[in-house]
């Protein structure tokens, strides 16, 4: 049985809630896309979701926009409510991949309490080395329109300075500078250290070495998903040699 069929069959008794953790530059977005391709479940990025709600002009979106426009962090209860509304939609019936949520103990407890008893959480933490990740991030460029990400060394655009997807100019985000990266990493570590401890105690935590090629990281994630989702022999397409 393929991992997709197994995931769907098991989802009749509960959804597969895959939580991706990892500091700035860990490659969560890349791995989330691979997981969604494997399992046919939506990738929910907290940042993108909040921006989409704001652009859509929903009640929550307008509240979020006012907070972000004022330069403040969006409060936990607003993020919790936004996620809660998103994950009850029909495309989440078999499961979801969460990127950027929960970020702290309070969010994790609130999220756990909102899930049906049969839903299963699988936490995958993509661990990285800050000193080695800085060059990866400082050479990153992002499309200001579609948010496609490029790297000047490892995955440059076909035409310098322009997005391959929509032909819009690429930008060097202000938070991709070394000082900002170090501060983001410190903040992330402070926030998530207690969260990691909680997930370890719950027995749902899996750490993956993120300082290798994306395909190698993906292979380790496959192994975790086989163990946590699949029943019996390794799933079709998930060879682990």
Residue in 15, 65, 86, 140 annotated catalytic:
140
Residue in 34, 51, 63, 184 annotated catalytic:
184
Cα–Cα distance, 146 to 38 (Å, whole number): 23
| C-alpha distances in Å from residue 191, one per residue of 49, 70, 73, 178 | 21, 22, 14, 20
198-211 burial: b if 16+ Cβ within 10 Å, else e: bbeeeebbbbbebe
Residue in 10, 15, 28, 136 annotated catalytic:
28
Annotated catalytic residue 136: no
Residue in 173, 182, 200, 223 annotated catalytic:
173
Cα–Cα nearest to 146, from 17, 46, 51, 39: 51
Cα–Cα distance, 68 to 85 (Å, whole number): 20
Annotated catalytic residue 184: yes
Annotated catalytic residue 15: no
Residue in 34, 51, 63, 103 annotated catalytic:
103
Q: Both tokens of residue 201? A: 């105690």
Q: Which strand (E) or helix (H) includes residue 96?
A: strand 95-99
Cα–Cα distance, 98 to 42 (Å, whole number): 9
Name the DSSP class of 236. B
- Burial class (CB within 10 angstroms; exposed 0-12, middle 13-18, buried 19+) of 188: middle
Looking only at the bridges linking them, the beta strands covering 149-151 and 170-171 are: unpaired
* Catalytic (active-site) positions: 28, 103, 140, 173, 184
């Amino acid at each position: 049985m393929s991992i997709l069929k197994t995931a769907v069959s098991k989802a009749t008794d509960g959804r597969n809630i895959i939580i991706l953790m990892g500091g700035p530059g860990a490659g969560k977005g890349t791995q989330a896309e691979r997981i969604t391709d494997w399992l046919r479940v939506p990738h929910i990025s907290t940042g993108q979701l909040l921006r989409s709600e704001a652009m859509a002009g929903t009640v929550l979106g307008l509240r979020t926009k006012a907070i972000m426009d004022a330069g403040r962090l969006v409060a936990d209860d607003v993020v919790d409510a936004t996620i809660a509304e998103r994950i009850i939609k029909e495309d989440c019936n078999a499961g979801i991949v969460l990127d950027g949520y929960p970020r702290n103990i309070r969010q994790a407890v609130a999220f756990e309490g909102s899930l049906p008893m049969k839903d299963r959480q699988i936490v995958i933490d993509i661990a990285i080395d800050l000193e080695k990740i800085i060059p990866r991030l400082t050479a990153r460029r992002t499309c200001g329109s579609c948010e496609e990400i490029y790297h000047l060394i490892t995955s440059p655009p076909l035409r310098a300075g322009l997005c391959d997807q929509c032909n819009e100019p690429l930008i060097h985000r202000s938070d991709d500078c070394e000082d900002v990266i170090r501060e983001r990493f410190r903040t992330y570590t402070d926030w998530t250290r207690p969260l990691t401890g909680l997930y370890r105690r719950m027995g749902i935590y899996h750490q993956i070495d993120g300082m290798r090629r994306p395909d190698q990281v993906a292979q380790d994630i496959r192994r975790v998903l086989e163990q946590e989702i699949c029943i019996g022999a390794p799933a079709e397409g998930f060879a682990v040699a």
